[in-house]
Amino acid sequence: MLYVSTRGGGEKLLSSEAIIKGLSDDGGLYVPEHFPQITLDVINLLAAKPYSQRAAYILGVYLGDFTPEELESQTDAAYNSGGFAVPEVAPLRKVSDDTFFLELWHGPTSAFKDMALQILPRLLTSSLRKTNESKEVCILVATSGDTGKAALEGFRDVPGTRVMVFYPRDGVSDVQKLQMTSQQGSNVNVVAVEGNFDDAQNGVKEIFTDEFLKEWAREKGFFLSSANSINWGRLVPQIAYYVSAYCDLLNSKEIQLGDKIDFCVPTGNFGNILAAYYALRMGLPINRLILASNQNDVLSDFINTGVYDRNRQFYTTVSPSMDILISSNLERLLFELSGKNGEIVSGLMSELSKNGRYELSSDMRDALANIFSAGRCSEEETLECIAKAFKEQDYLIDTHTAVAYNVLQKYRDGNNQQQPCVVVSTASPYKFSESVLIALGQETIGNGADLIDSLFNFSKSPVPMPLSGIRNAVPRFEKSVAVADMQAAVREFLQS
Ligand SMILES: *Cc1c(COP(=O)(O)O)cnc(C)c1O
């Protein structure tokens, strides 16, 4: 299995090389040359296995230069060694006859980014060994809140690596910020950026394309790499939980082998739902993928109209990890919709950088509409949805998951055909305690730790361990920089 760039640059890489490089020299993202197929028989076999072995299988069909033993030991270390609080790793919770929540937040940072970032450092360090790379890798991350902490936890004290996280100063919750600024480990650094997530992400992208800075880093013995969801090593572990959810529905006899199901996914950078699309292309029986946007509805508009237009107001919402107007991973979907045509993708991407907008051809639009549906959830609807799920289903959900649940309800109102649907639950409600308390009509007094206590006292839903410890967290990193000074911050970190 080889990897090519979405912009058609012509190079073909092994998976280890694609994971190390992150972004292609032509500015494109790495994608597999073709999709390996997963048969119903294999799905049936995987259903009898624990999560770590399901994941090892999925990784194995994509990462051709890793041995099965290597992947089994890595998924075992990532998912079974105590980082995840439940043995199922990604449990399914049934809330009604045909609605299930896939809880992806039982890892060390209580959000779904752990699913990939607990394993990425292992994939990356063995990729380095495979390619005989001796330089130290410096991971740069732009985060809308959850990726940053998950990367810090994943890479902390991993030999041969450093990790540096940039977060938008006013764009993350209290708890998210404290989780990051209190990070332990000798190889980590955290910096606030005076801007929003897109500013931070663009700043990191510029660093990656700055040959002068990269050369400087090489001389210092480092090479720069990305743990953002554009890295192939982030995406491939995410495919596993879609397959795993299907296996669990089979095991609980909710469906029969071959039955099609829907997935509804709260979306920001288009990474999570892209993994669902890859699962579909591999042959997992999926009927529709329902994309859910918050008030920043650039993606739901795109699905519904075929026009991507980022020339619109940016909103800071109660689901901050979805406050994104430039969804990097969408480029990978465009590549598939165009029939793997790098020229078309390059054209669309240059329109995007020139005009902030592009429009799909009617062929590509049809291909999109065949698989995806989309909806948008307002701030008010997000809070109403949390209250309703708690009242009617006795189920406490976070703001991002609520966006998806609300969009699913709207989708079902407009469609007679009813499939079982898995709503992808991306964060613990305690990570966004303030908004959840407001949704439930409760007072919000005190700091992040007080709010977690209040929410527990009201809901009696268990608090994940990593969040119950936040009261004692002490900030280590207080630095804040302008976007233009991000490069200087990287230099300073690498010289320390
Ligand atoms: C990152 C994140 C999302 C968005 O995921 P994408 O892969 O960027 O679409 C949704 N919810 C939570 C809680 C997140 O952390």
Q: 211-219 vs 197-209: helix axis angle to the nearest 10?
A: 70
**Torsion (CA) 61, 261, 144, 79 in degrees, nearest 10:** -50
Q: What is the mean pLDDT of the chain?
A: 94
pLDDT at 157 over 80: yes
The residues lining ligand 1, judged by C-beta closer than 6 Å to any ligand atom, are 111-113, 146, 229, 266-272, 321-322, 400, 426-427
% of the chain exceeding 90 in pLDDT: 83
pLDDT tens for residues 40-74?
Answer: 999 999 999 999 999 999 999 999 999 999 999 99
- Residue 173 binned pLDDT confidence (cut-offs 50, 70, 90): confident
Q: Answer for the pair 224, 21: CB distance below 8 angstroms, yes or no.
A: no
Which residues are catalytic, by number? 113
What are the start-end ranges of the E strands in 151-199? 161-168, 188-194
Ligand 1 atom with minimal separation from the 144 CA: 1
Residue nearest to atom 1 of ligand 1 (CA): 321
pLDDT at 102 over 80: yes
User: What spacing in Å lies between the alpha carbon of 267 and ligand 1's midpoint?
Assistant: 6
pLDDT at 114 over 90: yes
Which positions ≥6 away from 177 have C-beta within 8 Å?
167
Which positions ≥6 away from 296 have C-beta within 8 Å?
314, 315, 317, 322, 323, 324, 325
Q: Answer for the pair 200, 193: CB distance below 8 angstroms, yes or no.
A: yes
Q: For residue 308, which phi and psi values (nearest 5 degrees)?
A: -100, 120
Ligand 1 atom with minimal separation from the 398 CA: 13
Q: What is the pLDDT of residue 418?
A: 81
Ligand 1 atom with minimal separation from the 113 CA: 15
Q: Answer for the pair 345, 4: CB distance below 8 angstroms, yes or no.
A: no
pLDDT tens for residues 266-320?
Answer: 999 899 999 999 999 999 999 999 999 999 999 999 999 999 999 999 998 999 8
Strand pairing partners for 376?
Answer: 293
User: What spacing in Å lies between the alpha carbon of 44 and ligand 1's midpoint?
Assistant: 29
Which positions ≥6 away from 49 have C-beta within 8 Å?
57
User: What spacing in Å lies between the alpha carbon of 219 and ligand 1's midpoint?
Assistant: 35
Distance CA 79, CA 142 (A): 25
pTM as predicted: 0.93
pLDDT tens for residues 423-455?
Answer: 999 999 999 999 999 999 999 999 889 999 999
